[in-house]
Amino acid sequence: MPPELRLRDATPADIPLVNRFVRALADYEKLLHEAVATEDDFRRLLFGDPPRAWALFAEWEGEPVGLALWYYSISTFLGRPSLYVEDVFVEPAHRNKGIGRIIFAHLAKRAVEEGCGRMEWSVLDWNAPSIAFYRSIGARPKQGWTLQRLSGEDLAALARQGS
């Protein structure tokens, strides 16, 4: 790791910074209109009882320049947990310094140490630079699978049927 770079776990005092980085990622992905999470939402996610997600910051010369946020899912086929990377964002001015690769290597090390059978994440199909980076670290697309989502009123309507 370059001496200018340090990774550190997020603390409760970092909640405004988490919010800022998530909004910057949403803006980069042209999805800022969907970024409605509040600082209270992040506080509950990261530091509630129990925590539902974890985060770390990449600092370059003491300044935060990147965020990773992840949670754990499971694989019934493997009978083991999976580390799911929800967000990784490195500020544009600090890209191409190896920060993203170091973040992913750090998360992979955590996954292995915690007995995870795999590490997964999603990428927008138009994001060619990220896709090329993911291929360079050995990631491969999951062929034959399409992400499905229920949210908003559709989620609420199905939930009402479960009553």
Angle between helices 128-136 and 99-113 (to 10 degrees): 50
Contacts of residue 147, Cβ cutoff 8 Å, sequence gap at least 6: 122
In sequence order, the 6+-apart residues with CB closer than 8 A to the CB of 101 are: 133, 136, 137
List the catalytic residues.
Answer: 134
Tell whether omega for the bond before 129 is within 30 degrees of 0, i.e. cis.
no
Please tell me the distance from the alpha carbon of residue 31 to that of residue 58, in angstroms, as a whole number.
Answer: 23
41 sits in which H/E element: helix 39-47
